[in-house]
């Protein structure tokens, strides 16, 4: 069984959106950690950094998903 092209594009688009949102959350947590560190809240900054590490893996998949989605045979 194969997935039709329309469903494949929808699934890839959804995966792209979810990965992009989680990568953005990683960046926001790091910025929050920086501000907490600058305000001398070391424990809060370490919690933000610790929680953001899990979202680091979502920085790379959006690039490859977008690259695959822009291929001509995927767009048809």
pLDDT tens-digit profile of 9-68? 888 889 889 989 999 999 999 999 999 999 999 999 999 999 988 888 888 888 888 888
CB proximity list for 74: less than 8 A, separation 6 or greater? 5, 8, 9, 12, 68
Please determine, for residue 69, whether its predicted confidence score (pLDDT) is greater than 60: yes
Query: Could you tell me the pLDDT band of residue 76, with boundaries at 50, 70 and 90?
Result: low
How many residues comprise the chain? 76
Q: Which residue has the higher pLDDT, 2 or 56?
A: 56
**Predicted pLDDT at 75:** 57
**Predicted pLDDT at 74:** 60
Would you tell me how many other CB atoms lie within 10 Å of the CB of residue 40? 8
Tell me the whole-structure pTM to 2 decimals.
0.76
CB proximity list for 69: less than 8 A, separation 6 or greater? 9, 12, 13, 16, 75
Which structure tokens are listed for 32?
């929050």
């Amino acid at each position: 069984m194969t997935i039709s092209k329309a469903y494949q594009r929808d699934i890839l688009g959804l995966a792209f959106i979810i990965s992009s949102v989680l990568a953005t959350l990683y960046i926001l947590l790091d910025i929050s950690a920086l501000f907490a560190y600058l305000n001398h809240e070391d424990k809060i900054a370490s919690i933000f950094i610790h929680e953001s590490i899990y979202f680091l893996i979502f920085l790379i998949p959006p690039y490859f998903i977008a690259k695959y989605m822009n291929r001509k045979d995927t767009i048809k």
